[in-house]
Amino acid sequence: MTLLLVGAGSQAYREYLLRSVAKEYEVHLLADRAPLWEEPYLSGHTVVDTTDVTAMAEAVRGLPYEGVMTWDDTRVVHTAELARLLGLPGSPPEATLRCRDKWATREALRGAGVPQARSELVRSLPQARAAAALVGYPLVLKPRALNASTGVAKVDEPALLSSRFRLARGATAPGAVEVAPGDVLVEQYLDGPEISVDAAWYEGRMHPAFVARKECGFPPYFEETGHLVDAGDPLLTDPAVLDVVTAAHAAVGFTTGWTHTELRLTAEGPKVVEINARIGGDRIPDIGRLALGVDAALVAARVACGVRPDVRPDRRAVAAVRFHYPRADCIAREVVIDAPALPAPVDTALAIALPGQELRLPPNGHVSSRYALVTAVGATHEECRSALDKASTAVRLEVLRTL
């Protein structure tokens, strides 16, 4: 069976997904460049403008494809449009755009009464000040349609609004084309732990796969520094969480595919932060597999080909990922990993930064400032976190110079 894949993403964060899918499917890659690290996993590829849905459809004419998918945030809408054009399974492009466009998400959820943060859309600093008076402090500023927490910042008092509004309004990301840049959301700050729910969707029914507990750093920014998945997490079957996620997807109209939904567990109950119409990033699917045995990439590929999902776990463990950041902005010389010194629970220790790469901490850099990642699996939260602590001494960044 042939699966069309729109974009492969970065090797550090997405290779394991492609490797998994390629074990069951012939994968034909549609991408803006010729394959590099992707080559061993492909049955074929076409270099094509992946924002041009008609061109992609023409490029695959004659191929025996059964489905199309992407795990690239900036191509989820184009992929949904391609699925519709080719008559393949998937959610309506309009629903996918409502996930991609955070303001459209807010409006859809508000209309359906789904718990979420109060939010106001603004385009100027005077509008932001007026919205802040309505929302109240502390509040959060975020760009309308970017990912990886780019440009997102907490604002505790009016004196900080101007500088952080400029940050949010000026934030950009490669490939973000569906929503014009510049719009900013002024949102109520939701207190409480942040989680994500990865789930397969088939004909409007949710099949929850795993819940990740998020760890953030570098306040007032929301840099995701790690995640933990516990196969025994009661949130995976918590009616309050599942009801909110189900209602949110009904509100935006998402019916078939895979989503990564972020929520805050507030004193008033779970509230939606955002819905991402793709597999979770940050190696969350990897630790989900380590903890529960659920292969998100393979399940998502099957759903894209019209197969009912099966996310029943076949193991019960705890797994976590931690990202390593420099102490200050710098240029990397080399990332050195002392493999023999890694503790036994470590599953993967991977260098991310390349020699000569600039690493800038938030707000000047976000996920691009990471120089390594480490995953671990064990029987308890404590075992995982202890292994990640010990592994930090075996992963070293050699700095060419500070910036």
Is residue 145 located within the same domain as residue 257? no
Tokens of residue 19, six digits: 């490797």
Asked if residue 348 is part of any domain, the answer here is yes
Name the strands in the sheet holding 395-402, side by side, starting at the edge strand that comes first in the sequence: 358-359, 330-337, 395-402
154: containing domain: 118-188
Q: Of the given ranges (100-104, 175-179, 373-377), which has the lowest mean pLDDT?
A: 175-179
Is residue 174 located within the same domain as residue 228? no
Is residue 196 located within the same domain as residue 245? yes
Question: The whole model's pTM is what?
Answer: 0.95
**Residue 212 predicted with pLDDT over 90:** yes
Last residue of a domain, one of 146, 166, 188: 188
Does residue 120 contact residue 134 with C-beta atoms inside 8 Å? yes
Nearest to 321 by CA among 221, 173, 237, 196: 196
Asked if residue 94 is part of any domain, the answer here is no
Is residue 43 located within the same domain as residue 130? no
Asked if residue 350 is part of any domain, the answer here is yes
pLDDT digits (tens, 9 = 90+) for 365-386: 889 899 999 999 999 999 999 9
**Residue 176 predicted with pLDDT over 60:** no
Asked if residue 93 is part of any domain, the answer here is no
Is residue 23 located within the same domain as residue 157? no
Asked if residue 125 is part of any domain, the answer here is yes
Is residue 218 located within the same domain as residue 298? yes
Measure the CA–CA gap between 310 and 208, rounded to whole angstroms.
Answer: 10
Last residue of a domain, one of 316, 332, 355: 316
Is residue 370 located within the same domain as residue 310? no
Is residue 336 located within the same domain as residue 213? no
Tokens 């397969």 belong to residue: 200
Percent of the chain whose pLDDT exceeds 90: 92
Q: Is 149 helix (H, G, I), strand (E, B) or coil?
A: coil
Asked if residue 95 is part of any domain, the answer here is no
Rg over CA atoms, the chain: 21
Is residue 268 located within the same domain as residue 203? yes
Nearest to 260 by CA among 200, 173, 317, 175: 200
The vertex-247 CA angle with 246 and 248, nearest 5°, equals: 90
Which domain CATH number covers 376? Answer: 3.30.470.20
Is residue 27 located within the same domain as residue 146? no
Taking each helix axis as running N to C, give the angle between helix 239-252 and helix 93-100, from 0 to 180 degrees, rounded to the nearest 10: 120
Asked if residue 97 is part of any domain, the answer here is no
Provide the β-strand partners of residue 229: 212, 319
Is residue 293 located within the same domain as residue 335? no
Considering its fold, how many domains does the chain have in total? Answer: 4
> Tell me, what's the pLDDT at 195?
98
pLDDT digits (tens, 9 = 90+) for 221-271: 999 999 999 999 999 999 999 999 999 999 999 999 999 999 999 999 999
Asked if residue 172 is part of any domain, the answer here is yes
Is residue 328 located within the same domain as residue 311? no
pLDDT digits (tens, 9 = 90+) for 29-43: 999 999 999 999 999
Q: Which residue has the higher pLDDT, 1 or 178?
A: 1
Which amino acid, 309? P
Which domain CATH number covers 142? Answer: 3.30.1490.20
Last residue of a domain, one of 316, 341, 358: 316
Q: 133 φ, ψ to 5°?
A: -65, -30
Tokens of residue 156, six digits: 């505790």
Q: Of the given ranges (102-111, 181-190, 211-220), which has the lowest mean pLDDT?
A: 181-190
Provide the β-strand partners of residue 397: 335
Mean pLDDT across the chain, nearest whole number? 95
